[in-house]
Amino acid sequence: MSSPPLRVALVQQDTVWQDPAANLARAAGFVEAAARGGGRVVVFPELFTLGFTMAPEPFAEAIPGPTSEALAALSRRFGLYIVGSVVEAHAPHPRNAAFVTAPDGSLVATYRKIHPFSYGEENLHYSGGTECPVFEVNGIPCGLQICYDLRFPEPFRVLAAKGAEVVFVPANWPARRISAWSTLLAARAIENQMALCGVNRVGRDPHLDYPGRSAIHDCFGEVVASGDATEGLVFGDIDLAQLRAWRKRFPALRDRRPGLYTDL
């Protein structure tokens, strides 16, 4: 029996700058709306309780901790998976981390952003992660990456090699580089024959404008669903049967020759 489509809800949030209480207070409304729309996974933008801050230390917390536990309660209440993001306490610097809570409230995955954004000096304030975990959503192998990670094909290929079929990418991607966002989401989907779910915030922080343009791309790179610059939810259905059939019919991942790529 083929797998039913996975309905994903991307939260295009106008994040209140460095105000966790205000942003968490609004999270329940987004999750409730996602549940009403049939969503099985709700994905918030990168650092959704803060914005893309370069003053992370006062907001650092553990995982599990206040933010993950708040989303875990919403997962239990509405019976769905939630992808959140938080400043995780760590030495010598905090980490930009994403996590996933399940319908029973359990914490099923934590990912630390591997590539801090050096162009914006994120590397001076955050420590990078070292692992690409794969976890299951309704039995579907999934992965996480965060914003700037999208510019690096290697971790997506690692996730594909581990069997990931869907990758969630929370981001704070600014308007001035939004064409790269759309192109890279499509490219990562095509080259790994996986679905990409990229969620971007809207609005403005003290430095940059954010245009939304959240999108779900299928295994062919085609857009399944996309948003504009309006705050709200973007729903899309991922066809897992199509993805698996395409991987079987056109086995590009099996045709790789890693032994020739040692210069990497």
Other Cβ atoms closer than 10 A to 188: 27
Residue 166's alpha-carbon distances to 7, 16, 18, 50, 133, in angstroms, are 12, 29, 30, 26, 12
SS3 79: coil
SS3 108: strand
- Residues annotated as catalytic (active site), given as ranges: 46, 113, 147
User: Which residues lie closer than 8 Å to 204 by C-beta, 6 or more apart?
Assistant: 210
Q: Please tell me the chain's helix, strand, coil percentages from 3-state DSSP, rounded to the nearest 5.
A: 35, 30, 40
State how far the Cα of 110 lies from the Cα of 212, in Å rounded to an integer.
Answer: 24
State how far the Cα of 119 lies from the Cα of 237, in Å rounded to an integer.
Answer: 34
Sign of the C-alpha dihedral computed for residues 243, 248, 249 and 255 taken in this order: positive
